[in-house]
Amino acid sequence: MSDKPKKDMDITRKVWLAGIGAYGRALGDVQDAYAKMGKETTKVFDDLVGRGADLEGKVKFAAKNSPMMAEQTVRATVDSVNDRMDRMKAALGLTEAAAEQQDQITGIEARLDIMESKIDAILAAVTPTTKKKAAPKKAASKKTTSK
Amino acid sequence: MNTKDKILQASLQLFNEEGEQAVTSVDIANVLDISPGNLYYHYKGKDPIIHQLFADFEEEFKMVLQAPIEKPLELSDNWVYFYILFEEVADFRFFYRNLQALIERYSDLEQQFRALVNLKIKTMASIIFDLNQQGFIRISPIEAAQMAQRFAQQLTYWPINHSLMTPQVSIPVSIHNGVFSLISQLTPYVVEGSDEFLEVTMQFRDKMLKAVQR
């Protein structure tokens, strides 16, 4: 049981490399290759895996041969995308600071609700007469509309 | 900002808002309060402006698309990253909305645009591969390949869908819907017991909804 995921991962990795190798090829071709894999030869697939690994190696080789260029571009890429990720997280309220701010806002809202209900209660206690006066008026208007 | 950059920025905004075909180079000059002659000194008409805009867009988008291929993302970062991808397309939406017409008129951009869509597929495949590798989802290679294609298509064609089907919805909400659509397509593949994935997804959805509605 335990080595099943491992085997799956291995297959996925191979498909990944095959994907690099097959880039530009029609998806249908690749799917056909997958479909035939179990029964027939895996030659096509292995060939693609080989080409993928080859390409991967070449990319790494190229990067090694121009360390200035490759390393700088890679670092600039990652930094800049990381910066954008941070900004996006803040905008979405996914950073801790933003989450804290959200909590604070919710806290203030809750306190405002309490204050509001208290003020309502005080107002009701201070002005009992207006309410009593208002009640008969409503009753009167109901009568007129029913006629 | 120099005049050249100002011209680019104003053009992009006008194209996105009014549609590229409705905007003339005189309109661009008017918005910037410069003479058409001054604009012509920097760019000889709309064509070089569009080529420059595309070149800038392509450079930036390639850099963004390359990131998860170079280094796997953290689980929760995937969703933030989807957001950035959709935003990237939104920044240049006039081109996506009028894809066919623009490619016919600027035929040299067709190949470059196709390469960009291919890179999108590769990036999406990389993300799905990493999620599978990290044990959050379990997906067969064929399904993963198809999903990567579908994700890239959704990312590419959402501006058309947005202007046709939901023009009343704001761009940020439309982006949110797009990101959530991608995430929900992954959920059937979540490995049983991989609560972290679902937790992050739910948490993200709630926070995202709040952020979008604000």
Confidence of residue B77 (pLDDT cuts 50, 70, 90): confident
Q: Does residue A72 surpass a pLDDT of 70? A: no
Q: Say yes or no for a CB contact (<8 Å) between B84 and A11.
A: no
Q: Please, are residues B46 and B25 in contact by the beta-carbon 8 Å criterion?
A: yes
Q: Please, are residues B159 and B90 in contact by the beta-carbon 8 Å criterion?
A: yes
- Assess: ipTM above 0.85: no
Q: Does residue A46 surpass a pLDDT of 60? A: no
Q: Say yes or no for a CB contact (<8 Å) between A12 and B71.
A: no
**Higher-pLDDT residue of B54, A66:** B54
Across chain B, mean pLDDT equals 90
- B190 - beta bridge partners? B137
Q: Say yes or no for a CB contact (<8 Å) between B80 and A85.
A: yes
**How far B75 CA lies from chain A's nearest CA (Å)?**
13
All residues of chain B having their beta carbon less than 8 Å from the beta carbon of residue A5 are 135
At B84-104, the pLDDT tens digits run 999 999 999 999 998 999 999
Phi, psi torsion values for B157, nearest 5 degrees: -105, 5
- Please give the pLDDT value at position A141: 46
Amino acid at A9: M
**Higher-pLDDT residue of A89, B38:** B38
Annotate B133-157 with b (16+ C-beta within 10 A) or e (fewer): bbebbbbebeebbebbbebbebbbe
Q: Does residue B147 surpass a pLDDT of 70? A: yes
- Please give the pLDDT value at position A140: 46
- Please give the pLDDT value at position A40: 43
Least confident of A113-122, B63-72, B149-158: A113-122
- Interacting residues of B35 by C-beta distance below 8 A, sequence separation 6+: B29
pTM for this model (two decimals):
0.66
Q: How large a percentage of chain A has pLDDT more than 90? A: 0
Give the chain A residue whose CA is nearest to the CA of B72. A78
Q: Which of A92, A101, A105 best probes binding to B when mutated, by most B CB atoms within 10 angstroms?
A: A92
**Higher-pLDDT residue of B117, A29:** B117
Q: Does residue A9 surpass a pLDDT of 60? A: no
- Please give the pLDDT value at position A63: 44
Among candidates A8, A76, A88 on the partner chain, residue whose Cβ is nearest the Cβ of B84: A88
**Higher-pLDDT residue of B23, A98:** B23
Confidence of residue B212 (pLDDT cuts 50, 70, 90): low
Q: Does residue B36 surpass a pLDDT of 90? A: yes
**Higher-pLDDT residue of B176, A136:** B176
Q: Does residue B207 surpass a pLDDT of 90? A: no
All residues of chain B having their beta carbon less than 8 Å from the beta carbon of residue A80 are 63
Q: Say yes or no for a CB contact (<8 Å) between B125 and A16.
A: yes
Q: Please, are residues B121 and B152 in contact by the beta-carbon 8 Å criterion?
A: yes
Inter-chain contacts counted by CB atoms under 8 A, chains A and B: 73
B39 DSSP 8-state letter: H
Among candidates A24, A27, A94 on the partner chain, residue whose Cβ is nearest the Cβ of B80: A94
Q: Say yes or no for a CB contact (<8 Å) between B132 and A80.
A: no
- Interacting residues of B139 by C-beta distance below 8 A, sequence separation 6+: B128, B132, B147, B189
Residue A80 CA from chain centroid, whole number: 19
- Please give the pLDDT value at position A62: 45
Apex A49 CA angle, A43 and A52, nearest 5: 140
Among candidates B122, B144, B207 on the partner chain, residue whose Cβ is nearest the Cβ of A93: B207
All residues of chain A having their beta carbon less than 8 Å from the beta carbon of residue B63 are 76-77, 80-81
